[in-house]
Structure 1
Amino acid sequence: MADQKNGKDVPNVGEGDSVSKDVVYLEETFYILSKKNSVFRVQLTSKGLTLTKETDGNSKEQTILLRDIIGSKCMRSKRRRPGAGSCVCSSFVGNNQLKVVDENSGDLDENDISAYLYIYAYILKRSRRTLKRERTTITLRFRSFDKYEDNNREAQKWRTTIKCLIASLPITYSPPTNDKKVLVLLNPKSGPGKARELFQSKVVPILQEAEVPYDLHVTKYAQYAREFVRTRNVYGWRAILAIGGDGVLFEIMNGMFERLDWQQALAEVPLAILPCGSGNGLARTICHLYNEPYIPQNLTGLSMAIVKGQTAPMDVVRIETRTKIMFSFLSVGWGLLSDIDIESERLRAIGGQRFAVWAVARLVGLRTYKGVVSYAKIKDVSNLPKPKQPLTLSHSISQDGALDSPDAEAFIDCDEHSEVFVNAVNGKQHQRVDSWYSVNSRRSAFYSTRGSEYHSVTSEGSEMRSPVHACMHGPASHLPSLMSQLPSQWVHEEGEFVMVHVSYQPYIGEDFLFAPRSQLSDGVMWMLIIKAGIPRSQILSFLLGVGQGSHADLNTEHIKMVPVSAFRIVPEGTTGYITVDGEVVEYGPIQAEIFPNIVNLLVPETK
């Protein structure tokens, strides 16, 4: 490697060593061929990749944070067709673009001894008033030596160090490996029906770059995902990813609780969600809590969480009705909001806007419901146990340590700002290209990652053998049976209600900030009670203000928000909707209690 001009190895720092805040692992100095008196100093540190440009005594520094880097790959230049152009060492301007292939490709340029290291990053940048991630590729060309093998050895050293740092592992001479795939369960009918397209265009390229293999299964009927995780050996996957709305994850989670080994399975196999549905409450919550930009149909930040492997615990709520037991991660509703959610299904094709349209209809024809609402109120939410700290799972590359090589015409889109650098080694000057630039165009397919598989139907010999009557397991209830008398310290409210809605996440929809004080794991459910007699104008104000959560501090005659640890709703009559995580359950008595830290979720590193 190089310090200043000549180059030296930077000593590795072990786990027990006393180190400074920012450790330098590798560094190199590059000279810009097209600009006199300009150099770039590139350092790989415990913080990330630091790029310092020095020109005529002026210095400008940019650091690409380690948390924004998802992977890297070593490549070789592609053989040029006769008459296609001269040496690739020239400046990459116009149509004279660098084309690279895998080192095992039969189409490589034997005359170019360079080794190219591609580093893939998604950087948080501010655009006007919003934050978004911009895809960036840092390209390092290693040509300090006269043989490809020596240059490739240097490139591999950088690649291995990057992968170890990403995985939070000690620096070694070989990159860390993880042969396990991600199980992807995709509902093609969620929301406006674009889940397949979004997975292919937004998620697969990130999995490619991070070298994370996957098994993709498309759900074919209701409860398919539930049956799948209940009957398969889930320990063969590193994580289970739900692609669709909140309903897909609801199926997966309840399928896990129907396993005899539910506790071990949930502890060892984290769950994840990518929003392609109408509500997308949990995905919006994760982004909100971890300061990750949430842009509809932009899955970049949450896709990065899949490959990074950091987990955080999440509470679950045990729900009991007259005939079923289930587990919930989002909300329970009775009345207005549930009516809007279920009855607007006929407008599913327009996506999340269906809720606003149907809210107007329900406000005009306002309904009320009679019943009894009982709850165990939490008197002081400030003294609740703190959630566990996030964990990072070991992860890295696909099962054979390589990707199918992307053809540069499909994968690399060099811009005209690339520079040609000269690196001085042992008195000899070699052209050395080192540029960082955004790569915007690429074509990808479901099958692009080696070892990844796509299943449109259940594979032969692997049919799901579901028991006729699945048994729900999970943590045991602390409450009396549904029809038994409740503890005397519970609060009971009897009368007529416009709605009762209980949430244990900040967001219950993309634009619905229901419980601003809620956390993924805090042991609290927030119950919103709106009683009959409230003017329509106040309900309209409530619906208009839900995006900012302004209703959370209300405490009036007709509307209030209460922190609870358990509740029971007993409606009168047989007409109405009760929903759990947006799914309809039988109309009748229902009770619930919260259990902290049961499920592990994959979350971003941006908190």
Structure 2
Amino acid sequence: MAESSDVLLSQGFFSGKHDHIHLELRRSGLHLRKEGKKGVEVRLTYSFEDIIGASVVNDDGLDIWVCPFVNKGVVRKAGRRLEIVKLKMDGSTSPEFRAKTLNAFRLALVRGARHLDIGVNEEPSVRRFMVYINPYSGTKQAEKIMRTQVQPMLQAAGVQMEVVLSAHRGFVQEHAKSADFSGIDSILIVSGDGLVTEALNGIMSRTDFASVLQIPFAVIPAGSGNALAASVLHASKETYGIVEAVYVALKGSPVPLDIMSVTSAKRRIYSILSVTWGLLADVDIGSDKFRKLGNARFTLAFMQTLASLKKYPAKLSFLPAEAVGDVATDGANTETESVEGIALGLAAVPKIPSSSSSRRSLRRRATASNHSVESPSGGTASNGASNLQSYSLPKTVHLPAFSDGPPDPWVVEDGQFISVCAVMPSHLAWDTHLQNHASLADGLIHLTFIGRNASRSSLLTVFTELGAGAGEIATLATHQAHDLQHRPVKAFRLEMDPALSYLAVDGEHVEGGSIQCEVMPQFVQIMARLPAETPGSGSSTSASNEALASDSAANAAVAEDSVVGATASNDAPATTTHCASDDGAGDDFPSTVEEDSTADNKAEHKAHGNVSSQVDL
């Protein structure tokens, strides 16, 4: 039994089934109890790790949004499930008492969900997200995913959103070049991997890129491959799904993420995921014509490409990680370089402090620098991308000039290849787990190349096992029959004829010839939960919890108990969004979350049936 001092708020409510519910808010979490069948008391407990937010509905209702981890059931997969606990106070009590009581619970729950002291009577700062959506990604479900699954969770958490819909390829890159990111807490991508790359490269075109990169990315899987989202969820020890991705975006912290500098003779771009050439790029780019099939498009394209298997001449050079040691693992190099004929100096990218108050302080300093950036000539560059004649970029550490041969201790493989694949995180696609031990910021490029002697049957075995999660690439590379090598590297160069095969960066076709690439350790930030607890260890759903949960929906009139220490402000933070109306509380906090039942989308994301439910106690 908890000590009375541990109970901060206590009140009697009623559920939609007219059952009397006693609600207690403690520093350990939210505790609900009612008398069950045969007089047995039934308890339901949620830790603050489970709670997303809370809202006052009309003048007598309290909606509590929770996202607990549920174990595997007969018809559901293990994973997080979005639930709404709907409670009502006695309508016969005075409006003043109800307002005071409900807002006391709301404020404490919101603060607890943000890991703030729930005993403090102060509204937390409002979080603001810049949300980029690609309505054409995958099976074109991104807008619906945003409307039915992402937006309700963000609104429940009190997040304000500036929503930008991509109109065409390159749209987000152009927008990010000049967007006002001041006061933004996170850049949320609702799409596949390609839109993250667009946003990153747009930011890297700004004079103030170092300041903007203090803002962490967050990724919601709404494309076909969704490798970055899968890698973040894997690193966070969460199952793969949209609810889990939103949960991590809301409850996680900024952690470092490696990126890759990809340079050709004419241009430089930045990758958050992979560079592929040969078979894998042919499958990736060649599958665009089957986009309506969702993730199945890759399987069909792979079988077609395998049937007409090609071998390509190329020269692959790389710098093994073991030959370098821990080089440039703390941000970017501090020298200058020339890119596309422009002399550039480096502004090192600072790491984001873990606390939200420190991040806000950094953003205030970043905002001040946005408006006046000193150029090498002594003048100033205005905010955004309006003056990009001269700005700072990081210099690569290990790459030689294109006119020079690879120096020692680089390794050179010259011959025919079926495919070359360079990946940084753990996944190449949401269902293709390449390496168990890859982290989001291990400072490595995981280079895999398949030689000319690999047979169709061995390739089919390799990719079938990877897709089924039955093996990782380093283990499969030990089988000589596969003619497959896996090497952790710091940099590599690929010299090839661009007319023979596609070259893909983060799943997008890139024109040009030979390239050389280098990892840029811990260069950006992404929302994740590291170190993360084992799923379910901080959650509270149990047999007694599920005995309380039902699928029926109802509202009821009710009775009163007592309130302890009920003091709170009545002013809830406003929510602004560009993709939905704000004409009523019911729109801001719907009683249920519409489940996306589109067959293509379920097949693409393997939705596990834990999208949402209403808890009527």
Alignment TM-score, normalising by the size of structure 2: 0.70
From 109, 124, 132, the equivalent of 1:162 is: 109
CA distance in 1, matches of 2:88, 2:498: 73
Contact kept in structure 1, 2:273 and 2:423, CA below 8 Å:
yes
Higher share of residues assigned strand: 1
Find 1:219's aligned residue among 157, 161, 166: 166
- 1:423 aligned partner: none
Alpha-carbon distance in structure 2 between the residues aligned to 1:576 and 1:131? 41
Alignment partner, residue 593 of structure 1 = 518
Output the amino acid matched with 1:287.
L
User: 1:177 Cα shift?
Assistant: 3.8
1:583 counterpart letter in structure 2: E
Number of the residue aligned with 1:537: 457
User: 1:599: Cα distance to partner?
Assistant: 1.3
Match of 1:68 in 2: 50
Q: Distance in 1 between matches of 2:16 and 2:285?
A: 64
1:124 aligns with 2:44: no
Q: Which residue of 2 aligns with 1:344?
A: 287
Structure 1's 368 and 230: CA in aligned 2 closer, same or farther, altered over 3 A? same
- The answer on 1:45 being equivalent to 2:8 is no
Aligned pair count reads 479
Structure 1 residues 367 and 471: alpha-carbon distance in aligned structure 2, compared to 1, 3 A threshold: farther
Deviations 1:309-333 (A, max 9, x none): 6322211111111111111111111
Q: Which amino acid aligns with 1:284?
A: A
> RMSD over aligned Cα, in angstroms?
3.4
Name the SS of the counterpart of 1:592 in structure 2.
Answer: strand
- Where do 1:378-417 residues align within 5 Å? 378-379=321-322, 391=354, 393=356
Counterpart contact for 1:257–1:473, Cα < 8 Å: no
Cα distance 1:229–1:211, how it changes in 2: closer, same or farther (>3 A)? same
8 Å contact kept, 1:334–1:577: yes
Cα deviation 1:532-582 (Å, max 9, x = unaligned): 012221111012111214432122441121111111111246321111111
The residue number in structure 1 matching 2:80 is: 133
Structure 1 residues 79-107: Cα deviation after superposition (integer angstroms, max 9, x where no partner): xxxxxxxxxxxxxxxxxxxxxx2x4xxxx
- The match for 2:593 is none
Deviates more, 1:540-549 or 1:479-488: 479-488
Q: How does 1:504-515 map to 2 (within 5 A)?
A: 504-515=424-435
Match of 2:219 among 251, 269, 273: 273
Give 1:96's aligned residue: none
Q: Give the superposition deviation at 1:74.
A: 1.8
User: d(CA) in 2 for partners of 1:199 and 1:28?
Assistant: 35
Structure 2 contact 260–520 (Cα < 8 Å) conserved: yes
The equivalent residue for 1:291 is 237
Quote the residue 1:420 is aligned against: none
Secondary structure at the counterpart of residue 49 of structure 2: helix
What letter matches 2:29 in structure 1? G
CA distance in 2, matches of 1:536, 1:230: 44
Is the Cα–Cα contact under 8 Å of residues 368 and 497 in structure 1 kept in the other structure? yes
The AA in structure 2 aligned to 1:64 is Y
Whole-Å separation in 2 of the counterparts to 1:573 and 1:157: 64
CA distance in 1, matches of 2:324, 2:355: 28
Aligned equivalent of 2:152, options 194, 198, 205:
205
Secondary structure, counterpart of 1:249 in structure 2: helix
Contact 1:257 1:472 in 2 (8 A): no
Bigger helix share: 2
Cα 1:191–1:526 change in 2 (3 A) is: same
Unaligned runs of 5+ in 1: 12-22, 76-100, 104-114, 396-463
| 1:10-31 deviation digits (Å, cap 9, x = unpaired) | 66xxxxxxxxxxx654345779
Aligned-pair distance for 1:482? 2.8
1:320-399 → structure 2 map (5 Å cutoff): 320-379=263-322, 391=354, 393=356
Counterparts in 2 of 1:60 and 1:471: CA distance versus 1, 3 Å = farther
Give the match's secondary structure for 1:199. helix
Q: Compute the displacement of 1:39 (Å).
A: 8.0
Q: Which of the residues 26, 44, 57 maps onto 2:9?
A: 26
Deviation string, structure 1 residues 142-196 (Cα, Å, up to 9, x no partner): 4599522123212222221112212222345544343453211211111111211
Distance 1:392 1:469, change over 3 A: closer
1:421-436 residue pairs with structure 2 within 5 A? none
Q: Is the 8 A contact 2:31 2:45 kept in 1?
A: yes
Partner SS state of residue 288, structure 2: helix
Task: For 1:472 and 1:272, locate their aligned partners in 2 and report how far apart those are by CA, in whole Å.
Answer: 26
* CA displacement at 1:135 relative to structure 2: 2.9
2:82 partner SS: strand
SS in 1 for 2:213: helix
Structure 1 runs of 4+ aligned residues shifted over 6 Å read: 29-35, 380-390, 468-472
Task: State the distance in 1 between where 2:273 and 2:301 align.
Answer: 21
Task: Give the distance between the partners of 1:499 and 1:259, measured in 2 at CA.
Answer: 34
Indicate if the aligned counterparts of 2:279 and 2:419 stay in contact, CA closer than 8 A: yes
Deviations 1:347-403 (A, max 9, x none): 1111111100011111110011111111111239998979999945369xxxxxxxx
SS of the residue aligned with 2:488? strand
Deviation at 1:65, TM superposition (A): 2.3
Residues 483 and 176 of structure 1, relative CA distance in 2, 3 Å threshold: farther
Q: Following the alignment from structure 1 to structure 2, what is the Cα–Cα distance between the partners of residues 237 and 562?
A: 38
1: CA distance, partners of 2:67 / 2:497: 53
Q: 1:244 aligns with which of 178, 191, 194?
A: 191
> TM-score, structure 1 length as denominator?
0.71
Q: Which amino acid counterpart does residue 543 of structure 1 have in structure 2?
A: F
2:278 & 2:22 partners in 1: Cα distance?
Answer: 62
The code of the aligned residue for 2:30 comes to L
What SS does the aligned partner of 1:595 have? strand
Residue in 1 that maps onto 2:544: none
Unaligned runs of 5+ in 2: 332-350, 359-382, 534-617
Higher relative contact order (CA 8 A, sep 6+): 2
Inter-CA distance 381–310: structure 2 relative to 1 (3 Å threshold)? farther
CA contact (8 A) 1:319 1:590 kept: yes
> Which segment drifts farther, 467-476 or 327-336?
467-476
Aligned mates of 1:160, 1:314 — CA distance in 2: 33
